[in-house]
Amino acid sequence: MGEKAVERRLCQRFKIAGATVSYRKERFFPTRSRGDEEFCPVIDLSRGGVRFLTQKPLKFKSRVRVQLSIPGERSPLDLVGRVRWSTFNAGQSYKYQAGVQFNPYGLEKDHNHPQVLTRLVALETRFMEPAPAPEKS
C-alpha cells in the first residue's frame, strides 16, 4: 500500500479560478426541486468530468445536468453526466465534494454536443498549467 496511487483518468485536469457549476438531477418529470444547486465552486475539470463543492450529497450513479460557468465566457457549457462519487468535506464551508463524469460526446440521445467538447479543449489549452521542466542531472 506504500506505492504511489495510479492515476486512472484519461483526461488531464485543470483549474479555472472563479468557475462554477449549477446542477439539477435528471428526473422522469423534469422540475426544479430543492435538490438542485446553483453556483457551486469548481475545484477542477477535464474533458471527461468535473469536481466541485456542494452543500448536498449527490447519489452515486445519479444522472445530472450541469451548467458550467466560466469567467469571461459569454455562455455557460451545458453537459449531462453521472455522479461518480460524493464525499463529506469535513470542516469546510461547503459540506461535500462531488465528481461528475460527462456522458460521451456525439449527436446521439443522452450524449453531449460535440461543440461543447471543442469549447472544453479550448479552455484546457488556455488554463492548463505547463508541465514542470525535467530535472537535469
Tens-place pLDDT, residues 13-67 = 999 999 999 999 987 655 555 558 999 999 999 999 999 999 999 999 999 999 9
Q: Is residue 2 part of a domain?
A: no
Q: Are 66 and 100 in contact (CB under 8 A)?
A: yes
Q: Are 82 and 103 in contact (CB under 8 A)?
A: yes
Beta carbons within 10 angstroms of residue 97's beta carbon:
19
CA distances from 89 to 19, 62, 119, 120 (A): 19, 20, 30, 27
Q: Is residue 135 part of a domain?
A: no
Q: Is residue 120 part of a domain?
A: yes
Q: How many domains does the chain have?
A: 1
Q: Is residue 14 part of a domain?
A: no
Structural domain that includes position 67: 20-26+35-127
Q: Is residue 92 part of a domain?
A: yes
- Positive or negative, the CA dihedral 90, 94, 96, 99 is negative
Q: Is residue 7 part of a domain?
A: no
Q: Is residue 69 part of a domain?
A: yes
pTM score, whole prediction: 0.84
**99: helix, coil or strand?**
strand
